[in-house]
Structure 1
Amino acid sequence: MPKPGVFNFVNKATWDARNALGSLPKETARKNYVDLVSSLSSSSEAPSQGKRGADEKARESKDILVTSEDGITKITFNRPTKKNAISFQMYLDIMHALKNASTDNSVITVFTGTGDYYSSGNDLKNLINDAGEIQDVVATSTKILREFVNCFIDFPKPLVAVVNGPAVGIAVTILALFDAVFASDRATFHTPFSQLSQIPEACSTYMFPKIMGPTKVMRISKELIRKHEKQKLYTVNAEECAAALERMPREEYAKALRNFLFRKAKAKL
């Protein structure tokens, strides 16, 4: 095929890839691709610490593991005994990791999970406290959520998710802000907002209607597309958090949360 024009990003990437393969047999090329995706996916054991640039400071975290090697920064949910549920500290650790990855020498950033789950979403214990303090807890959680989602909106490099197992809640909605999502045969996707009397988050009320699958773009096209939508995403993120702040302190939310936890505990008996 003739070489595509410089602004025909998708076909140009395909053309470049085919030229790079040369006379490589089709089956060998397919195997190399599968091996690449598999290498990004975590095994049932925690990944070892990869090589880092001399100017990068490692942040110790047992629940979020960050490795950087061969141009790939990998951020791994590492709380398998809790199905990789995301605690407040994990939110902060992920934001710190994304900030570092946005300025380091890596080319792409990959998210995956340790164990059977990708992530069961928000740790509901983040929102359980004494009744008199629930307003403060909700205010803190929505502030962290807004900052967390904005980190993904602002991230300048390609984001890839390797979903190795079930994903729930924000672990699903945030995927709409990724550039590519690879799902294993064990992956499932669930957003139980109505069940928990919660408001959808991570700009999913805007992004989900726009897309019907993973989006793959190169860094330059991502910049051109996203710069026209950033303000809209900021607005949607703020509106979702404001709605959650208003709704979550209500008794119906607390009742739904207690019922959900009761059914979960009863199922383990």
Structure 2
Amino acid sequence: YNQPISKLMALHRLSSACNRMFLSASVVQTASGLRSLSSAGGLADKFTKAQSALQRLTEDPGNAAKLKIYSLYKQATEGKCTKPKPGFTDFVGRAKWDAWSGLGDMTKDQAMQQYIDLVESMGGKLDAPDTTADTTNPADSNTASADYKEALVSISPSGVLWFTLNRPAKKNAISTDLYAEWSKAMEQAAADDKVKAMVITGAGEYFSSGNDLSSFTNLKPGVTMEQMAADGNAILRRFVAAFIDFPKPLIALVNGPAVGISVSTLGLYDQVFASDSATFHMPFSSLGQTPEGCSSYTLPRIMGLPAAASLVMFNRKISAQEALSCGLVSRVFPAASFAAEAGAAVEEIAALPRQTLIYAKQLLREPIRAELHATNERECNRLQERWISEDCFNAVAKFFSRKSKL
């Protein structure tokens, strides 16, 4: 019996059940629920609108939020949970029961109001049933975002391509789709003569919270864990290779907390500008995983081995000033003026001769390019093994267990 696989499948069943709850349980009403809603007046109307708004959300709210949505819906339509607790082996049923039962004696009206508040807090628009948010960047008329669903992409008049991670509700966690979009944007920018430099930043408060760990619970039918790990290897290797081979100035604008691969790849940028509110955290070992992004090669050379080990091996979180002092960050700007000051610094770079910058970067990168690609291959192969290990399964299961209790 493969214990790690069984744990992952349990998580997968929970995620799938949460997805079904998210899409259907909030709109399928029981007879008692209908009677309750018909007597609730304006609150019932808002509750119905909130269910419709829920379906229009473009960001997955995550399993913990989905369980909360489910429990509030059940409390609003059926009242206090009186059903027996499912057996120990019914992982999904127990999670649903715990969420609903945890609401105790909350009234139906209170549950409806909390349901409405929760949907609105996730960006649901109760009074806009047929519209979606405009995610284009109003500051740049020359946008290229039409082909991107999880990023904003634009080219400034000075020839700087801005790639903004645009999943603020998920703290800009990097999904499989975002990996593909990011890789594509870098490859296209590298080949486009109109692009002089590329900037990576994040929408909202976070630069990026790293990998979207929900991918560990989203197994597709007929796909084995081994195949999923192999596919992840290929996606990650292409992504990091795009950094290694990018021929033009590559600049990170770290506008807030950076986690995981958004930190491990910083050694492959040419400049890293950080807000003084930014933090840098690589919690690899706590998740049963090993470093990626060529960080096992770049960070010891940038920071020194002990400082790199504290990040890569021992999960230490550092501030922007600490990152500056050890060379991981080029410049730090105040959070209140970060966009303006960092943007001005980018424009100074864009004003330099394009071809000269390309040749200068080539001279810096070429002596270590082969070693970087070899490092990328070693790191991806080790991660492929880690992703199907018991260490990783246990750590990810613990992570989701903590989130579900929030």
RMSD in angstroms over aligned alpha carbons? 2.2
Contact 1:129 1:137 in 2 (8 A): no
TM-score under structure 1 length normalisation: 0.76
Unpaired segments ≥5 residues, structure 1: 1-44
Match status 1:62 vs 2:149: yes
Give the counterpart letter for 1:79 in structure 2.
R
Deviation for aligned residue 1:62: 2.9
Deviation for aligned residue 1:220: 2.4
Task: Give the match for residue 107 of structure 1.
Answer: 196
Give the counterpart letter for 1:264 in structure 2.
K
Q: Which secondary structure does the structure 1 equivalent of 2:265 belong to?
A: helix
Match status 1:125 vs 2:214: yes
Q: Which secondary structure does the structure 2 equivalent of 1:202 belong to?
A: coil
| Deviation sequence 1:246-265 (CA, Å, 0-9, x none) | 22211221111010121123
Task: Give the match for residue 181 of structure 1.
Answer: 272
Counterpart-to-counterpart distance in 1, 2:156 and 2:386:
43
Deviation for aligned residue 1:69: 1.2
Distance 1:199 1:246, change over 3 A: same
Match status 1:190 vs 2:281: yes
Equivalent pairs, count: 220
Q: Which secondary structure does the structure 2 equivalent of 1:195 belong to?
A: helix
Unpaired segments ≥5 residues, structure 2: 1-134, 304-326, 332-348, 350-356
Q: Which secondary structure does the structure 1 equivalent of 2:264 belong to?
A: helix
Counterpart-to-counterpart distance in 1, 2:288 and 2:243:
25
1:66-81 matched pairs, under 5 angstroms: 66-70=153-157, 71-81=159-169
Match status 1:235 vs 2:374: yes
Task: Give the match for residue 247 of structure 1.
Answer: 386
| Deviation sequence 1:203-261 (CA, Å, 0-9, x none) | 00000011131469943221102111111001000000111112221122111101012
Distance 1:220 1:72, change over 3 A: same
Q: Which secondary structure does the structure 1 equivalent of 2:201 belong to?
A: strand
Counterpart-to-counterpart distance in 1, 2:385 and 2:170:
28
| Deviation sequence 1:85-125 (CA, Å, 0-9, x none) | 01001011011111121122121100110001010011011
Counterpart-to-counterpart distance in 2, 1:215 and 1:230:
22
Contact 2:287 2:396 in 1 (8 A): yes
Higher helix fraction (1 or 2) = 2
1:1-269 matched pairs, under 5 angstroms: 47-48=137-138, 50-52=140-142, 59-70=146-157, 71-104=159-192, 105-130=194-219, 133-212=224-303, 213=327, 214=329, 218-266=357-405, 268=406
Give the counterpart letter for 1:65 in structure 2.
L
Counterpart-to-counterpart distance in 2, 1:116 and 1:144:
26
Counterpart-to-counterpart distance in 2, 1:97 and 1:108:
12
Contact 1:168 1:190 in 2 (8 A): yes
Contact 2:145 2:151 in 1 (8 A): no
Give the counterpart letter for 1:64 in structure 2.
A
Relative to structure 2, which stretch is displaced further, 60-69 or 167-176?
Answer: 60-69
Counterpart-to-counterpart distance in 2, 1:185 and 1:74:
21
Greater radius of gyration (CA): 2
Distance 1:209 1:51, change over 3 A: same
